[in-house]
Amino acid sequence: MKICCIGAGYVGGPTMAMIANKCPDIEVTVVDINADRIAAWKTDDLPIYEPGLLNIVQGARGRNLFFSTEVDRAIRLADIIFVSVNTPTKMFGEGAGRASDLQYWELCARRIKEVSTSDKIIVEKSTLPVRTAEAMERVLHSGDNEVHFEVLSNPEFLAEGTAVSDLEDPDRVLIGGHETDSGQKAVELLVNIYAKWIPKDRILTSNVWSSELSKLTANAFLAQRVSSINAISALCEATEADVADVSHAIGTDSRIGPKFLKASVGFGGSCFKKDILNLVYLCETYGLHEVAAYWQKVVDINEYQQSRFVKNIVQSMFDTIAGKRIVILGFAFKANTGDTRESPAIKVCNELSAEHAELVISDPQALKNAAVDLKELKNVRLEEDPYKAAEGADALALLTDWDEYKDLDFKKVYQSMRKPAFLFDGRNVLDHQELFNIGFEVYSIGKGRLSHLD
């Protein structure tokens, strides 16, 4: 059996490496129009930073895992084609700023139709609006091509930074297919591929529309939990409650559960915002305005939380940060990735820069992306070494929960900074009392401030 995956990004690369690793009898070819990305997948300097991924890739590369820019050839030879291209928020025309931009997906569908000479199963791996498969089937079966295409939905639930364990041992795999004979046969084929390493009771099947909608809903629910606790963090700051205590107290209720209740400077990542905006747009398209407004608030609270963090910095530093040096500890949207898409650090840096602060950005993996994200800003310096970054600075703002920041020698850091030295912990990962004892002015999310200035 031959599999082709169109799109060698954060999803296509790791998911196909795992399938190739677990199924040595299947030949897997990952294709992309981005030649640099494909070239990097062929080296040990992979195009994405993901712990454990290199091992998985090395285990199958050259044996039954191949990376190529020959898109047409891989399509023609494949029995199953996963489409894992980007589906960003549409930035023009109808639905601009909310709807999903499906142009890359449709281009793939047209290419598949154009070059295929045998029947194929097309798997939606990208996150797509509910009922996209219907539109894609129309494209695939338009004209006089005799070939039959069976479209399945198989959304991906991996999180960056833990992609390898998420793929190896997922909570579930979801496969949606049509309730026709050919649809069910295709579902069974895909179920049997995943069953090579995932217990069958964790492989869920449904119709295509439920599968498509489940992906958007899962991301909306996860993001909603973060926005809910972040909304409560603002109330904690006003009332001397501690958001960590509140989070722990509610999370021990087995009906609520402890995960995704960590207050922060806000959620980032390429998908939460775009998928919720897409859900909002879909609801509005179906005339469900109240439902749309409900989900829109999850995104609104996230923007509010980021701006609130900056406002707190400005107010704490005597209402002016013009000319003051602020070190950003962590630019990635979460730890263990170099990905900065929709990272809260982007909005925070833009707002700090608008106040004429001088910025020094430090991150173990994301500086290359940070340079692109901040290229319009003046007075920005990139410095990987956090100790050098902190020299002569007025404040530190921790925005990514990298482990290495928890282990910094903060006495040394404090000594090299200008006084009063401020620390704003946007992830609540540091020992605030200890930092206060060292001499820092300490501000965090949803907790009382620790100040020597009162």
* Catalytic residue numbers, as ranges: 271
Query: How many other C-beta atoms can be found within 10 angstroms of the C-beta atom of residue 354?
Result: 10
Residue 247 touches ligand NAD, criterion: CB under 6 A: no
Binding-site partner at residue 170 among ligand UGA, ligand NAD, none, CB < 5 to 8 Å by type: none
Query: Dihedrals φ, ψ of 92, to 5°?
Result: -150, 160
Alpha-carbon span 163 to 269, nearest angstrom: 14
Contacts with ligand UGA in 74-113 (CB under 6 A)? none
Peptide bond into 420 cis (omega under 30): yes
Residue 422's identity, in one-letter code, is F
Q: Which of 65, 83, 121, 158 binds ligand UGA (CB under 6 A)?
A: 158
Residue 107 touches ligand NAD, criterion: CB under 6 A: yes
- Closest distance to ligand UGA from the beta carbon of 295 (Å): 15
Binding-site partner at residue 450 among ligand NAD, ligand UGA, none, CB < 5 to 8 Å by type: none
Q: Which of 71, 186, 360, 445 binds ligand NAD (CB under 6 A)?
A: 71
Interface region with ligand NAD, contact rule CB under 6 A, candidates 155-163, 199-207, 232-240, 442-450: 155-163
Three-class secondary structure of residue 65 per DSSP: strand
Q: Which of 9, 330, 426, 446 binds ligand NAD (CB under 6 A)?
A: 9
Contacts with ligand UGA in 247-286 (CB under 6 A)? 260-262, 264, 267-272
Query: Dihedrals φ, ψ of 312, to 5°?
Result: -60, -40
Select 316 or 369, whichever has its Cβ closest to ligand NAD. Answer: 369
Select 243 or 360, whichever has its Cβ closest to ligand UGA. Answer: 243
- Closest distance to ligand NAD from the beta carbon of 81 (Å): 11
- Closest distance to ligand NAD from the beta carbon of 11 (Å): 4
Residue 126 contacts residue 83 (beta carbons within 8 Å): yes
Contacts with ligand NAD in 289-328 (CB under 6 A)? none
Q: Which of 226, 349, 396, 429 binds ligand UGA (CB under 6 A)?
A: 226
Query: How many other C-beta atoms can be found within 10 angstroms of the C-beta atom of residue 155?
Result: 23
Interface region with ligand NAD, contact rule CB under 6 A, candidates 89-97, 104-112, 184-192, 251-259: 104-112
Binding-site partner at residue 334 among ligand UGA, ligand NAD, none, CB < 5 to 8 Å by type: ligand UGA
DSSP code, position 100: B
From the list 130, 133, 114, 131, the residue with the least C-alpha distance to 122 is 133
Residue 330's identity, in one-letter code, is G
Residue 347 touches ligand UGA, criterion: CB under 6 A: no
Alpha-carbon span 84 to 32, nearest angstrom: 10
Q: Which of 3, 4, 5, 7 binds ligand NAD (CB under 6 A)?
A: 7
Those residues whose C-beta lies under 8 Å from the C-beta of residue 359, and which sit 6 or more positions away, are 325, 326, 327, 328, 349, 352, 353, 374, 377, 379, 380, 381
Select 222 or 421, whichever has its Cβ closest to ligand UGA. Answer: 222
Binding mask 250-289 for ligand NAD (x = CB under 6 A): --------------------xx------------------
Alpha-carbon span 69 to 82, nearest angstrom: 15
**Tokens 């894609």 sit at which residue?**
136
Alpha-carbon span 83 to 132, nearest angstrom: 13
Q: Which of 4, 8, 349, 389 binds ligand NAD (CB under 6 A)?
A: 8
Three-class secondary structure of residue 28 per DSSP: strand
Contacts with ligand UGA in 200-219 (CB under 6 A)? 219
Select 81 or 317, whichever has its Cβ closest to ligand NAD. Answer: 81
Alpha-carbon span 214 to 17, nearest angstrom: 24
From the list 334, 391, 342, 341, the residue with the least C-alpha distance to 363 is 334
Alpha-carbon span 206 to 187, nearest angstrom: 9
Give Cα 379 to chain centroid, integer Å: 28
Residue 107 contacts residue 116 (beta carbons within 8 Å): no
Binding-site partner at residue 89 among ligand UGA, ligand NAD, none, CB < 5 to 8 Å by type: none
Q: Which of 37, 61, 334, 347 binds ligand UGA (CB under 6 A)?
A: 334
Binding-site partner at residue 291 among ligand NAD, ligand UGA, none, CB < 5 to 8 Å by type: none
Site residues, ligand NAD (CB under 6 A): 6-12, 32-34, 37, 71, 84-87, 104, 107-108, 126-127, 156, 158, 160, 270-271
